[in-house]
Amino acid sequence: MVQILAGVAALVMAASLPVAAQVAPERPGIPGNPSQTGYASAMAKEAQGWLADLIRINTSNPPGNEQIAAMYIAGILAKEGIKAEILDLMPGRSAVVARLRSAAMADPSKALLLVAHLDTVPVDKSRWSVDPFGAVVKDGYLYGRGAIDDKGMLAANLAVFISLKRSMAHLNRDVIFLATADEETGGDASIRMLIAKHWEKIAAGYAINEGGNVFLKNGKVQYTGVQASEKVAFNVAVIARGTSGHASQPTKDNPVVHLAAAVAKIGNYSAPVHLTAIVKRYFEGLAPLEDDEIGKWIRSMDSADRGEHAQRVISDASPLWNAMLRDTIAPTVLTAGVANNVIPAEARANLNVRLLPGDTIDVVLNELKKLVNDPQVRLELQPNAGLAAPPSSLESDFYAVISKVVTQEFGGAPALPFQSTWLTDSAQLRLHNVQAYGLVPFPLAQEDLRRMHGDDERIPLAAFDKGVEVLAKIVTEFAVAH
């Protein structure tokens, strides 16, 4: 108890720092049992201060500059008597790792990794109604770049990790805190490099990371999507070539025209539906949660006679569902032209392709070549192609714990296995046999989810508090000896 009180004293001192003070805990001196809701919510209040501080540290990627955020976190851990290690990956770009041991000899196959990334996507400041790095609190929301993606989870992981230490929990497995860099561009400071250089520091059998969400519908949790797999990203250049010349005498081989025609065909293309095992389970669980009409079409998706129509209805109902059912191809960048009165020799487009795990890019490329059917246009796969990872098991003990806790905590709304259309660090972990699950534990409405990577990103503080509590329960149930 003495140590716990000392921990709380450190906590009170930390809260007196100016930055943390804005959203500091109201009732310091809470008993140190993480299974008690009061403690968890005091932790959450403190974590709000860390989240606000992390938002104020601009880690827009590029360039990232994650080292400053890594040092901030190492400083917080040091105050708790936890020695964190800053792992430098590139100049100014670092990850941070810390470990709570369960025994003198670590068993990596049992260890649990709490993962979040330090970097964020950039902002278009002119489109924000508040300072994106000001951590402004307004109407119960904390605004700022990274509030959801992924500094919210970073602060929640930190809170749960520190609460294990403060409560002197008897762990049945090592718990490793990991904050990664360069997640948003997956470049040379990313988890790929971290694994290549420092695997022994983060080796684990299980991980919890971003990737899945607690989905609110009409103010209630509809379900929790626990990410167990993700799509794989590729970029493909569409290159049209022709003869450059004077714009006053147009020619038939103008590459701008050929590129535009090719992009239009590709934009209208819809790849065939391919239900992966996880997506099948997702829709089976979702059908009874939707209204009768949607539920009926979901159930008909693999029927012989109405299947195709049902797939179309479901794809049209939601861009997310559409992208869960098939490979997608999105034209994203167009480049052509040197002057208004010059026909250029080349015009290019970039296609961002997202494949279902198990599908191959060559098949898609061949399909697109046939579709474009223009000898002046060629398709070229770009470097840094994604690597498909095996899905995490839906039968593991950890998945069972996550499902049980979220179902209890969110009023019986079920956990559904989720295959994200977006990428996370978990793919790299899964490639190293880690059973990684994606769950941003904050219940969020569509209205807030769509602000991720967009303008006025924000997190409801009540959702943040709840998420910290839920994450604490998941980790306690899985890693603390009862």
Residue with tokens 């990577």: 453
Question: How far is residue 375 from each of residues 86, 245, 379, measured CA to CA in Å?
Answer: 52, 20, 11
> From the list 46, 150, 359, 409, which residue makes contact with Zn ion (rule: CB under 5 A)?
150
Q: Nearest distance from residue 153's CB to Zn ion, in Å? A: 8
What is the sign, positive or negative, of the torsion defined by CA atoms of 82, 88, 93, 99? negative
Cβ-contact 440, 210 below 8 angstroms = yes
Cβ nearer to Zn ion, comparing 149 with 409: 149
Cβ nearer to Zn ion, comparing 145 with 165: 145
CA dihedral 286, 301, 291, 324 (to 10 degrees): 50
Q: Nearest distance from residue 210's CB to Zn ion, in Å? A: 5
Q: Nearest distance from residue 212's CB to Zn ion, in Å? A: 12
- Of 42-50, 206-214, 323-331, 388-396, the segment contacting Zn ion by CB under 5 A is 206-214
Q: Nearest distance from residue 470's CB to Zn ion, in Å? A: 19
Neighbours of 432 (CB within 10 A): 15
Mask of contacts with Zn ion, 161-200, x by CB under 5 A? ----------------------------------------
Cβ nearer to Zn ion, comparing 80 with 149: 149
Cβ nearer to Zn ion, comparing 28 with 186: 186
List b or e across 352-377, with b for residues whose CB sees 16 or more CB atoms inside 10 angstroms: ebbbbbebebeebbebbeeebeeebb
Cβ nearer to Zn ion, comparing 53 with 149: 149
- Of 145-153, 190-198, 398-406, 431-439, the segment contacting Zn ion by CB under 5 A is 145-153
In the numeric block, which tokens belong to residue 383? 């470097």
Site for Zn ion in 388-447 (CB under 5 A): none
Q: Nearest distance from residue 452's CB to Zn ion, in Å? A: 8
Cβ nearer to Zn ion, comparing 226 with 347: 226
Please state whether beta strands 141-143 and 458-460 pair in parallel, antiparallel, or not at all (unpaired).
antiparallel
Cβ-contact 65, 59 below 8 angstroms = yes
Neighbours of 450 (CB within 10 A): 11
Q: Nearest distance from residue 43's CB to Zn ion, in Å? A: 22
In the numeric block, which tokens belong to residue 9? 């004293």
Distance of CA 271 to the CA centre of its chain: 25
Cβ nearer to Zn ion, comparing 174 with 182: 182
- Of 137-145, 210-218, 350-358, 465-473, the segment contacting Zn ion by CB under 5 A is 210-218
Q: Nearest distance from residue 463's CB to Zn ion, in Å? A: 17
- Of 89-97, 148-156, 158-166, 289-297, the segment contacting Zn ion by CB under 5 A is 148-156
DSSP state letters, 450-480: TTTTSSS-EEEHHHHHHHHHHHHHHHHHHHB
149 touches Zn ion (CB under 5 A): yes
Type of residue at 262:
A
Burial of 294 (0-12, 13-18, 19+ CB in 10 A): middle
Nearest to 60 by CA among 68, 52, 48, 71: 68
Q: Nearest distance from residue 390's CB to Zn ion, in Å? A: 21
- Of 40-48, 80-88, 205-213, 327-335, the segment contacting Zn ion by CB under 5 A is 205-213
Q: Nearest distance from residue 149's CB to Zn ion, in Å? A: 4
Cβ nearer to Zn ion, comparing 135 with 147: 147
Cβ nearer to Zn ion, comparing 179 with 377: 179
Describe the strand order of the beta sheet including 328-336 as a list of residue ranges: 328-336, 346-355, 232-241, 377-381
Cβ nearer to Zn ion, comparing 102 with 180: 180
**Judged by CB under 5 A, how many residues of this single chain contact Zn ion?**
3
Nearest to 447 by CA among 465, 459, 439: 459
- Of 149-157, 169-177, 196-204, 265-273, the segment contacting Zn ion by CB under 5 A is 149-157
Residues at the site binding Zn ion, with contacts judged by CB under 5 A: 149-150, 210
